[in-house]
Structure 1
């Protein structure tokens, strides 16, 4: 009996930390002084992210994103990169839950630590992710370029129950992401660039809420194929961002992603870059009308949600303001089929409308 218990405990313990911390690198002043870029990447994988290519090969979009993030980390000798992969919950021998988060920390192109951890199992505030960040982050470097990346499904602005397959009763919304971001930043600090790789990320509420933590945001106002924005441009930042011009870099990043998507798919493609200083006037002007819409939707029964749909804010009279295009760079191509193929441009802002007259 004791032998069996020992084997079982040994198996369970092997599912914890994978790589001891490389302390000689982590606590080296020389190592910290070389860091010029700080990237936090959260990859949501606790959902249906399986897709097939033209040859029928099966892939998982979150695994592909995680692999890309690790490549970015290895290709940046002057960066620290935090990768949080939120995985579906699994069990050992059907009864024993395994850790459902995996953390990677790279510094100067070298993997410093890789640990499995428990995600929040109630309301998600990224508690453990924030703890890892504060533990390893290179502090007191005010000239460091900082970035935050989120890869996953559309983040709901209301409701949000069932976002995680492993926690079907738990809700996750934009407000929860905002709550988590508070732990990754200080009161006065903002990320130089935020990349929101999800569908329908370019709404007035989402951009306004996340804009409190970023100077420039890249997002897709409409459907984003596989919720995937290319990370290739983040490799070798010492070359791709050597001039330190983050807004220009963001536009190049968006353009490259747009070019790839338009080659690969036939549906509508939209990628937008938001300059948060310049979009404030529009956001303030439409805040009340958009908030009223969200409040109405929050009060609706689930079955009535079939009567609403996403749309370009420019299609609604209340949003047709002179400032709607201020601070927004939009890369857009209509679908090759369906009713949207006649739409030749997009404002970069996504809203809701009722489909029932």
Structure 2
């Protein structure tokens, strides 16, 4: 015969045991789902059935957030650069009523309940200022780095006739020209270089018409190699040959493309955008600020003249980590200095407020790697 203590204990633990069994069933079910049938993308907003109107502008934003993007403004306020860029891109998408806008936010890979992976990418599709679709997706489900983004773009892109202007903007850390492992903090084995980026552009563009403008809101990508890699896909490129300290280019200039492109002058838009980005950066940053606009056709001569020397530099740097190598103005290296090397480049430059370069009053607009000096 059971005593009263055993009866009480048994009756008290029975609901707890049932709860454990139920929880076990849920966890086991989630395990089966995670191993076999997680969808590649999850739609959160139903697509509109309305007939799309012709658009004038196409914009694609790729925002990398899988890394250390915390920075502080001049007032000491902390910001996550990728979240700020996302908010700015959404504002641009909502304000342009005659545009189709894609925003791809590449996020760190995380897990739910410690075991089950969560989607590490989000796609936003806007048209005529309205959000038509928002999908979560896996960034590693493809043979190439940008295949998931290309497939989402192809699925939702609307319009048979080409737009009057096509822009692509990338926000992130410096896109490596060599190495490339560790660019994604949550997937350090995944490799990403400027050649991978160029391959993604080729897939997204998918026709013979160039993008009118590519903006690289990154550090140190205003180089001969990077511009040459992207030259087949763009008419104009905006990039910085210097360090942006995780601050991004201001997007306000793109919030009204009807006004900015009323004359169809993409060169003027590129210069105005770069100027405003430069002005904003110089308000917040005490270090050097350099923003350059490259007219791709006009800089081909310089790119051809230094291409071989730059390739030799990259070969010499093979095996090193990009973050361990210093950068310099190409005009300071005889291997890259050329008469007229800044032709076709609009340069916005301010020297640092302190340090050994505070008296440097000009910049060629081109950034190069500084090879370690050989011991005699």
Q: What TM-score results when the alignment is normalised by the length of structure 1?
A: 0.91
Equivalent positions of 1:191-270 (< 5 A) are 191-270=211-290
Distance 2:69 2:97 in 1: 31
Distance 1:129 1:226 in 2: 24
**CA 1:301–1:106: 2 relative to 1, 3 Å:** closer
Corresponding residue for 1:22? 47
Structure 1 stretch 219-228 or stretch 78-87: which is displaced more? 219-228
Q: Does 1:32 align with 2:57?
A: no
Corresponding residue for 1:47? 67
Q: Does 1:147 align with 2:167?
A: yes
String of CA shifts for 1:137-156, please: whole Å, max 9, x gaps: 23432352100110000011
How many residue pairs were aligned? 349
RMSD, matched Cα: 2.4
For the 8 Å contact 2:57–2:163, the answer to whether it is kept is no
Structure 1 stretch 50-59 or stretch 211-220: which is displaced more? 50-59
Superposed displacement of residue 293, structure 1: 0.7
Structure 1 stretch 228-237 or stretch 182-191: which is displaced more? 182-191
Partner of 2:49, secondary structure, is helix
Corresponding residue for 2:344? 327
- In structure 1, list runs of 5 or more residues that go unmatched: none
Distance 2:326 2:77 in 1: 32
Partner of 1:311, secondary structure, is strand
Q: What TM-score results when the alignment is normalised by the length of structure 2?
A: 0.87
Distance 2:323 2:266 in 1: 39
Of 303, 307, 311 in structure 1, the residue corresponding to residue 328 of structure 2 is 311
Superposed displacement of residue 24, structure 1: 1.4
Distance 1:56 1:151 in 2: 22
String of CA shifts for 1:37-84, please: whole Å, max 9, x gaps: 000100000000012345544321000100100000000000000000
Distance 2:215 2:76 in 1: 30
Q: Does 1:352 align with 2:352?
A: no
For the 8 Å contact 1:194–1:214, the answer to whether it is kept is yes
**CA 1:334–1:73: 2 relative to 1, 3 Å:** same
For the 8 Å contact 1:123–1:171, the answer to whether it is kept is no
Partner of 1:270, secondary structure, is strand
- In structure 2, list runs of 5 or more residues that go unmatched: 1-20
Report the structure number with the largest CA radius of gyration: 2
Q: Does 1:292 align with 2:312?
A: yes
